Amino acid sequence: MILAIDTSCYTTSMALMDMEGNLLSDQRRVLDVPLGERGLSQSEALFQHHRNLPLLIEKVAQDYDLRNLAALGVSTRPRPVEGSYMPVFLGGEQTASVIAASLRVPLHRFSHQEGHMMAGLFSSEFRPHNGHKFFLVHFSGGTSEILLAEKHGNGDYLLTLYAYGNDLHAGQFVDRIGVLLGLKFPTGAALERLAAQYQGEVPKIKTWVKGKEFSFSGQETAIRRLVEKGLPHGAAARAVEETIARTMIKVLSNAMEETGIFDILLVGGVMSNQLIADRLKRKLPTARLWFTASRYASDNAVGIAAITRENLCNESYGK
């Protein structure tokens, strides 16, 4: 069995997977953010992770003997690039290191972004072969990136940044307007419900796409001003969704035209939004869109378990 841990800015997560790829346990605790706040400091998030991790280990150990672990996997940084760092991931890494050393089993370290990618592959029907190139769209509270991904024969994936948000991340856009509307952080699911209930007119907010860069900060300001002038909350929520969708459509249309690559894997919490997904399906008819199952779009450790298993299997095969 493989035990995986992810400690993000939103959630403490732990997953247990067998060597056949069956998910045995998926445990999560969303970090507690006071109403009206737009997130936690790194120190407060790390404190909550240290409080949550023993509780999650206890839950997993109630049903499974952790002495039978073959390996552990953990996310240690936001992205798989040099210099990527956030203190919040130390909680998971420290806990995983202690367990791995105690049991004398290997510890595999990955990035949070790689975990999202593998959660998408785990929960969708997309199965890239060796050498297969595809676009990875990662839209969440901490990232707004479109990456060119390529699977290698050893089970690794080469991720190259293709296009990116140059200021506010898509999830931050959602959360800032959501908190403005009185929703509790993180606001994604509540904002989507609010938008779905609204049947009136929705203001069309101008998007900003320039080359391989895009922006959401000006759009956030525009919607904020409209709300202050009396825009119905449901209309504001819908405007956020529509703005993100139209931005993605522009960027992905350009990407497909330039590269001839049409497989697109969409991951991260923002990609669980059904209206955004529906818009992309309708406006990008030539694309092969692979969406992460809603349950695995938000932060979790399932993807870390899956990539740990894949690496472990490839190591065993190569011996």
| Residues forming a β-bridge with 11 | 30
Tell whether 161 is covered by a domain.
no
* 251 contacts 209 by C-beta, under 8 angstroms: yes
Tell whether 197 is covered by a domain.
yes
182 and 115 in a single domain? The answer is no
User: In whole angstroms, what is the distance from residue 20 CA to residue 303 CA?
Assistant: 14
Name the DSSP letter for residue 139.
Answer: E
Name the DSSP letter for residue 200.
Answer: S
Number of separate domains in the chain: 2
Convert the pLDDT of each residue in 68-112 to its tens digit. Answer: 999 999 999 999 999 999 999 999 999 999 999 999 999 999 999
276 and 228 in a single domain? The answer is yes
Cα separation values, 111 from 7, 76, 81, 173, 226, Å: 11, 6, 9, 23, 38
pLDDT tens digit at each of 319 positions of the chain: 999 999 999 999 999 999 999 999 999 999 999 999 999 999 999 999 999 999 999 999 999 999 999 999 999 999 999 999 999 999 999 999 999 999 999 999 999 999 999 999 999 999 999 899 999 999 999 999 999 999 987 778 999 999 999 999 999 999 999 999 999 999 999 999 999 999 999 999 999 999 999 999 999 999 999 999 999 999 999 999 999 999 999 999 999 999 999 999 999 999 999 999 999 999 999 999 999 999 999 999 999 999 999 999 887 544 3
For residue 103, the model assigns a pLDDT of 98
Torsion, CA 97, CA 99, CA 102, CA 103, rounded to 10: -120
Q: What contacts 108, CB < 8 A, 6 or more positions away? A: 71, 72, 73, 74, 307, 308, 311, 312
249 and 313 in a single domain? The answer is no
Question: Could you give the strand order of the β-sheet that contains 107-111, starting from the edge strand earlier in sequence?
Answer: 23-30, 11-17, 2-7, 71-77, 107-111
214 and 110 in a single domain? The answer is no
User: In whole angstroms, what is the distance from residue 74 CA to residue 108 CA?
Assistant: 6
Tell whether 155 is covered by a domain.
no
User: In whole angstroms, what is the distance from residue 237 CA to residue 235 CA?
Assistant: 5
Dihedrals phi, psi of 11, to nearest 5 degrees: -145, 140
226 and 248 in a single domain? The answer is yes
For residue 71, the model assigns a pLDDT of 98
| Residues forming a β-bridge with 264 | 135, 289
Tell whether 143 is covered by a domain.
no
User: In whole angstroms, what is the distance from residue 49 CA to residue 6 CA?
Assistant: 10
E-strand stretches of 56-207: 71-77, 107-111, 133-139, 144-151, 157-165
262 and 309 in a single domain? The answer is no
Tell whether 152 is covered by a domain.
no
User: In whole angstroms, what is the distance from residue 59 CA to residue 223 CA?
Assistant: 43
* 32 contacts 11 by C-beta, under 8 angstroms: no
248 and 304 in a single domain? The answer is no
209 and 265 in a single domain? The answer is yes
239 and 310 in a single domain? The answer is no
Distance of CA 90 to the CA centre of its chain: 18
Domain membership of residue 258 as a residue range: 170-291
For residue 318, the model assigns a pLDDT of 40
Q: What is the CATH number of the domain that holds 174?
A: 3.30.420.40
pTM for the full predicted model: 0.95
Tell whether 84 is covered by a domain.
yes
What sign for the dihedral angle of Cα 6, 7, 10, 15? positive
Tell whether 32 is covered by a domain.
yes
* 290 contacts 284 by C-beta, under 8 angstroms: no
183 and 280 in a single domain? The answer is yes
181 and 87 in a single domain? The answer is no
Tell whether 306 is covered by a domain.
yes
194 and 285 in a single domain? The answer is yes
